[in-house]
Structure 1
Amino acid sequence: MALPPAFLEELRARTPLPGLIGRKTRLARNGRQWKGCCPFHNEKTPSFYVYDDHFHCFGCGAHGDAITFLMRAEGASFPEAVERLAGEAGMQVPKATPQAAERERRAKDLYGVCAAAEAAFRRRLMLPEGRAALDYLRRRGLTEATIARFGLGWSGEGRGALAADLKGEGITPEQLVAAGLMKPRDPDRPEAGLVDMFFNRVIFPIRDRRGRTISFGGRILGDGQPKYVNGPETELFSKRRSLYGLDLAREGAFRGATVVVVEGYMDVIALHQAGFGGAVAPLGTALTAEQMDALWQVSPEPVLCFDGDAAGAKAAFRSAELALPLLAPDRSLRLAVLTGGEDPDTLVAKGGPPAFEAVLAGAKPLSIALYDLLAGTSPPATPEQRAAFRHRLDAAAKSIPDKTLSSEYRRAWLDRFFAEGRGARPASAPRPAWTPRGKPGELASIRGLLRPAIDHDAIRLERARNLLAILLHHPPLLPEVDEALASLDLPQGDCSQLREALLTWLPDADHLDSTRLMDHLRQAGCESVASWASRKQGLCQAADPEAQPKEALEAWWHFFSLLRGKAELDHDLAEARRMLEETNDPQAQHRYVLLLEAQRALLSGEAGDQAQPDTIL
C-alpha cells in the first residue's frame, strides 16, 4: 500500500532539511536558503542549494526532498528512509490495512471536492446573488486581483445549494459532509437530512502549505453571530496545524518578506495586498505548538503581532510561554504591538504600508519582550517583589531545553535585572564639601592631600599594552581574536606597529608559539616594541606565559571591551547577531558569544572604574 499523502506531507514538514543535510556537508546561509558543496559529487565551488522543502545541485542535477536525500546519501530504500525519518520526528508509520487504503482514497477524493466547492463559491460571488458580498469586499479596499488570488467567494443562502451545484460533477452529499461542507440538521435524528455548513457568508478558502484547498471559513454579512466560522476537523483539515495564508507566506519569505502572524483573514489579505507577503493567521484560536513548528519551517524568527490592549498583552504572554520549550539557537520569535485600537487591516487602510513597516521595525526580540511581560506594568520595587520576579525569570529560562540558549537567556535577563536594580537605587545625599582650616592657598602646599588628575591616555595605553602582551605570550589565541584585534582603535605608535606585526605573522605561521613569534618580530624590527609590551611591571596575571589559555582569553576580551567602548561594542554585537541569524554558522555563533562576554567585561570594567578611579587598568 502506498503511504497516505497527508502522512508524507507531515513527515516532510517535521524534517528540517538544513539540519538533515548538514550532517553530510557543511552548509552556510545564502539569503533565504542554504548553500554548500554537493555531497554527491566532488566539487570545490559550492553549487548545492537547500530550501525549506527540497534541495537542488546545479552541478550534478541532484534534487529531491528529505526522503530522497536519505536514499541517495545512505543507500536506504524508500521504506527504510521513511521509517528512520518518522522515528526522528516522533511519528508512527501507518500500517498497510484496508482501512488505511480507504482513508487514502477518500483523502484524494476530498481534495477534488474542496477544489470543486471553491470554484462554485467563486462563481456565486460574481452572480447577482453575490453582489452584496462583492460590494462588502470592495468596501474593505480589496482589488479584483486580490479577491481572485485568495479565491474569495459567496456561499449562497444554503438549503442544499452547494450539493445541487456539484451534483453534476458526481460529488455526493456524503462527500460534502466528509469535506466539512455539510452537516446533519439534527445529529440525533439522521432522518432529518443535511444542511449546508456555510450560508449567507463570504467564503475564505483555507489552503495547506502546498496551496491545496483543505477547508473554508465564512464571514456573515451584517450583525449576526458568530461573525466568523471555520469548517470542522476532517481528514484534510486540522485547525491546530493549519495557518491561513501559509502557502503564500512561504513564497513571500523565500523572496525576503518578514513572516508575521496577525489575527484574522482580513488582516492577512490586507497585508498581502499592501506588499507584506509573509502574513499568516491562526484560525480563530491561540497559536499552537504545531503552528509554531510550521512557522519555523518558513522563517527562523517570525514576528507575532498583537493588539496593544490587555487582551493583546495576555495573548503575547501566552504565545511567549508556549514558545519557550520549543526554542533553539535557530528558532526564535519577535513580538510587535499595535496601538490605538488599530488592527493591521485598518492601520494599512489609514496609513499605508509605512504605518505597518513601523510596527515591524519596533518588534522586540523574544528575550526582551518576555522580560517586559514578566515584569508587568510596574517594575518590582520591594525586596520581596524583586525576589519573586527573579524566580520567574529563572523558571522561564529553565523551560528552554537547549542548555546553551537557556544559559544565555538567564544571563541576559539577570544582567538587565541587576542593571535596573542599580539604576533604581535612590542617590545618597551629597556629602558636604570639606574646607580645611588655614589661610587661603595653604591647602595647595599640603603634599598628597589633593589627588592628581586622572591621565586617561596613560590608562588607555596600559590597557592596550596588556591586550598585546597576552597575545605575545599566548599566540594560539590569535585566530580567535584577529578580527576583533584588527577593528580596535589602538594608540598610535608602538601599539599599532605591534598589532600590524602580529596580524602579518598569523596567516603564514605554521606553529603558533611564542618563540617563532619573537623570531618574526625581531626580523620585522619590532623587538624593542615587543620588549616594552612584555615588561612585567603593570601587567595582569593573564599575560604571564604560565597562565591558563581560558584565563588569558577572558582577560583579552576584558581589555578589548574596555578599549572598544560601549557604543562600538553594542554595534559589533548587533552585527554579530545579524550574521548568526543569516548564516547559522558555528564560527558566527562563537563570535557572538565572545562579544557577549566582552560586553559583560565592559560593564564590570566600568563598575570597577567607578569604584576605583585611580586604577590604571
Structure 2
Amino acid sequence: MAGRIPDSFIDELLARVDIVDVVGERVQLKRSGSNQHGLCPFHGEKTPSFTVSTDKQFYHCFGCGAHGSAIRFLMEYDRLDFREAVAQLAQMAGMEMPENTQDSGPQQNHAPLYALLERADRAYHHWLRQHPQRQRAIDYLRQRGLSGEIAQRFGIGFAPPGWDNLIGRLGVSDDLQRVGLVIERDGGRVYDRFRDRIMFPIRDRRGRTIGFGGRVLDDGEPKYLNSPETPVFHKGESLYGLYEVLQADRHPADIVVVEGYMDVVALAQNGLPRAVATLGTATSTRQIERLLKTSSDIIFCFDGDNAGRQAAWRALENALPTMRQGRQIRFLFLPEGEDPDSLVRSLGRSGFESRLQQATSLSDYLIERLEADTDMQSMDGRARFVEKALPLLQRLPPDVYRHMLCERLAGLARLDTDYLEGVVDGRETLNRDQQARRREPTGSDKSGVRRTPVRLAIALLLQSPALARLVDEVESLRGLDDLPGLPLLVQMVELARNEPHLNSGAILERFRDSEHESALWKLATWDHLVPAAGLEAEFADAMEQIRRITTERRLQHLNERLQAGTLTTDEWSEWIRIKQTGQ
C-alpha cells in the first residue's frame, strides 16, 4: 500500500487542476461575474445556490452548506475515498501518483501485509469448508439462520482449535506478527491469535482484508476477539461491513450502525444489506464522517439495555462535530433482551424497516437526556439544563443546524436565542478579557460571522494568501492564545509565507479534517464587503488592531503582576518598553 500522500503533491495537483472543469463535467454551470453557478448536486433545489470560484478554487452551496476543493467534490459526488479522488485528479492532470512516501520520509510498503492477510483469509475460508473439525462452526452458522450464500458474501471462515494451524500454513514471519495474527510467548515462541472461532474478515472500501473478528464457539472468553491495531488496521477508523454495503448499493439511502458482526450479517440475510458494525470500541467521529460520505442518513441501532444506551450517548457526543445542514443522525433502541439479529428474525424485513422509520432524531435524543432528572419548571433546573447543554453545543460546527438546535434549546430554557449562541461562542462569558473584547468590532452580518480583526484577517488571507508578506511581527503574536483565533492566524500566515505558491483551495485542503476546518470554510465563504482594491489596506488595519489588542492584554497582565509584587526583571523591562513605545 502507498504511504501518506505528500502535501507538496496535493498542492501541485490543486494548482494544475481547475475545479470548474472537474465540477463542470458533472454539474451544469453558468458564469455569473467571476464565479460559476448551478443547481447543487447535494440537495434538491430549483433556484441555483451552488457556486464554484475560479479564483479561490473551491465550491460552496449557500443552501445546504456543502463546500470543498476539487478533491472533496469528487469524494462527495463520486463517493470516493481521499486517495481515490486524488488518483482520479492526478490522471486528469497527467501527474503520476507518488507511491510509498510521506512528508517525513519513506513509508514502508504495506503490500506484503495485505497479501499475507488475504492468504490468512483464504485459509480460514478453506477450513470452514474442509477442516475435519468444521462441523461445529457450520452447525453454529445454521443455527443462526445463515445461508451458504450470505456466508460466502461476507467471507466467513473458521479458525480450527490448536495453537499453530495458521503458522503451519503461512509460516513464521515478522509480518505475521505485524498484522496481529500471532502472539509472541515469553521466550520468543509464537502461537495463533485466533483459535476455535468463527472468523469474520474486516475489509476496507476497496475490498482488501485489513483485520479479523473471531466469535468463540464455546463459552470461552472473550466472546468476540478482534485483530489488534496494525499498520493497516485502525479500529477507530474501520467499520465491519462497509465494503459489503457499497457492493449492494453505492448510494444507500441510509446506513444502520449496529454493535456486532452477526447483527450485520443477519440483517443482510433478511434483506437489509446496509448495516455496519463498530469494532468493539465506541463509535468515533472519524467513523461517522466516513459513513456520512456514503449516506447523509445514519441510524444507530443499539440494544435497549443500559450498555446500549451508554454506547448511543457516546456515539451522539462523537457525532456532534459532524452535524451540519443536510445530514441526519437517528437512534433506535431495541426492546430489552433483543438485538438486531433476533429482532429481524422475529419481525422480518418489513417489521424491522418499520422500527427504523420510528428512530429518534439526534436532537430529540439529546434533549431527552438533558431533561432527564431536571426540573424544567424551575429557574435553577433550566439553568442546570443549559449548563449540561453548553459543552455539547460547543462541539457542533457553526452552521444552520447548530443555530436551529440553539433556538430550540433556548425556547425550552426560556432564553433569548442570540444570548444562548453568545454563551456557546464565548461572547457572553464575563472575564478579565471582556473589556478588551469590547474594543473589537462585534457587528454580525446575515451570515452569522461576527466581524473581529482576527476573523477579518483570516478571511482576507484565505481570499489572497499573498497578503501574508505584509506581516512582519509573527514571532510577537506567537503564544498569545487568549485572543480567539490568533494561533490559527499565525499558523496560516506562516504557511502562506513559507509556501507562496498555495492558492485558497490548497490552503483549505491543508486543514481538511482538522478542528479548524469548519470555521475556515465559513470565513472563506463570508461576504466581508472588502473590495479587491482595498484588501491590502484592510488586512494591514486588521493586523494593527490585533497588535494593539494583544499589547493591551499583555500590559494588563503585567500590571496585575506588578500590583502583586511578582514582576520579574525581564517583565519590568517589558512593562517600561510598552509604556514608553506602546508596543
Q: TM-score range by the shorter chain?
A: 0.5 to 0.7
Percent sequence identity is 34
For residues 163-562 of structure 1, what are the structure 2 equivalents within 5 Å? Answer: 163-167=167-171, 172-186=172-186, 189-190=187-188, 193-376=189-372, 380-416=376-412
- Indicate how the Cα distance of structure 1 residues 390 and 364 shifts in structure 2: closer, same or farther if over 3 A, else same: same
| SS, match of residue 336 in structure 2 | coil
Shift in Å, 1:209:
1.4
* 1:54/1:66 contact within 8 Å kept: no
User: Displacement of 1:108 after TM fit?
Assistant: 0.2
Q: Classify 1:71/1:9 alpha carbon distance in 2 versus 1 (closer, same or farther; 3 Å).
A: closer
For 2:404 and 2:216, locate their aligned partners in 1 and report how far apart those are by CA, in whole Å.
Answer: 48
Q: Does 1:116 align with 2:119?
A: yes
Please report how far the alpha carbon of residue 158 of structure 1 lies from its aligned counterpart in structure 2 after TM superposition: 2.8
Give runs of aligned pairs for residues 91-170 of structure 1, distance below 5 A.
Answer: 93-97=102-106, 100=107, 103-104=108-109, 107-127=110-130, 128-167=132-171
Alpha-carbon deviation of 1:70?
4.8
1:120 and 1:352, CA in 2 relative to 1: closer, same or farther beyond 3 A?
same
- Equivalent residue of 2:160, what SS? coil
Q: Give secondary structure in 2 for the equivalent of 1:386.
A: helix
The 2-side partners of 1:8 and 1:366 are apart by: 35
Q: Matched residues in 1 for 2:204 and 2:36: separation?
A: 30
Structure 2 CA distance for partners of 1:76 and 1:288, relative to 1, 3 Å = same
Letter of the 2:344 counterpart = V
Q: Give the aligned partner of residue 7 of structure 1.
A: 4
Q: Deviations over 1:272-294 (max 9, x none)?
A: 11121210010011101221121
What is the rounded CA distance, in whole Å, between the counterparts of 2:412 and 2:248 in structure 1? 36
Please say if residues 257 and 278 of structure 1, whose CA atoms lie closer than 8 Å, have aligned partners that are also in contact: no
TM-align CA RMSD: 3.9
**Is contact 1:394-1:410 (8 Å) kept?**
no
**2:561 corresponding residue in structure 1:** none
Give the distance between the partners of 2:5 and 2:313, measured in 1 at CA: 34
Letter in structure 2 aligned against 1:28: C
**Shift of the alpha carbon at 1:253?**
4.7
Contact 2:6 2:103 in 1 (8 A): no
The residue identity in structure 2 corresponding to 1:194 is: V
Q: Which amino acid aligns with 2:139?
A: D
Does 2:85 correspond to 1:66? Answer: yes
Question: Would you say how many aligned residue pairs link Structure 1 and Structure 2?
Answer: 371
- Whether the aligned pair in 1 keeps the contact of 2:6 and 2:102 (CA below 8 Å) is no
The Cα offsets for residues 121-168 of structure 1, whole Å up to 9 and x where unpaired, read as 11111223111011101100000001111111111123211122234x
Find the aligned partners of 1:248 and 1:407 in 2 and give their Cα distance: 36
Q: How big is the shift at 1:9?
A: 13
Deviation of the 1:112 alpha carbon: 1.0
Aligned partners of 2:351, 2:159: CA distance in 1, in Å? 34
Partner SS for 2:200: strand
CA contact (8 A) 2:244 2:273 kept: yes
What is the CA-CA distance between 1:39 and the residue it aligns to? 12
Q: CA deviation at 1:401?
A: 2.0
Structure 2 residue identity aligned to 1:305: C
Deviation of the 1:353 alpha carbon: 1.2
AA aligned to 2:86 is I
Contact 1:337-1:359 at 8 Å conserved across structures:
no
CA contact (8 A) 2:241 2:276 kept: yes
Shift of 1:417: 5.1
Name structure 1 gaps, 5 residues minimum: 41-47, 57-63, 84-91, 420-617
Helix, strand or coil for the counterpart of 2:293? helix
Q: Is contact 2:226–2:279 with CA below 8 Å preserved after alignment?
A: yes
Q: Which stretch of structure 1 is more off in the superposition, 331-340 or 393-402? A: 393-402
Q: Secondary structure at the match of 2:262?
A: helix
Which residue of the partner structure matches residue 614 of structure 1?
A: none
Instruction: Report SS of the residue matched to 1:304.
Output: strand
Pairwise CA distance, 1:65: 4.7
1:120 is aligned with what amino acid?
Answer: A
Greater RCO between the two (CA within 8 Å, min separation 6)? Answer: 2
Deviation at 1:206, TM superposition (A): 0.8
Aligned-residue offset at 1:363:
1.2
Distance 1:39 1:116 in 2: 48
**In the superposition, relative to structure 1, how do residues 143 and 9 fare at CA in structure 2: closer, same or farther (>3 Å)?**
farther
> Following TM superposition, by how much is the alpha carbon of 1:383 offset from its aligned partner in structure 2, in angstroms?
2.7
- Residue 28 of structure 1 corresponds to 40
Counterpart Cα distance in 2 of 1:298 and 1:290: 13
Alignment-derived partner of residue 518 in structure 1: none
Highest CA radius of gyration, 1 or 2? 1
Deviation at 1:348, TM superposition (A): 0.9
Given the superposition, is the C-alpha separation of residues 162 and 377 from structure 1 closer, same or farther in structure 2, using an over 3 Å criterion? Answer: same
Q: Deviations along 1:195-219, whole A, 9 cap, x unmatched?
A: 0011111111111111111111111
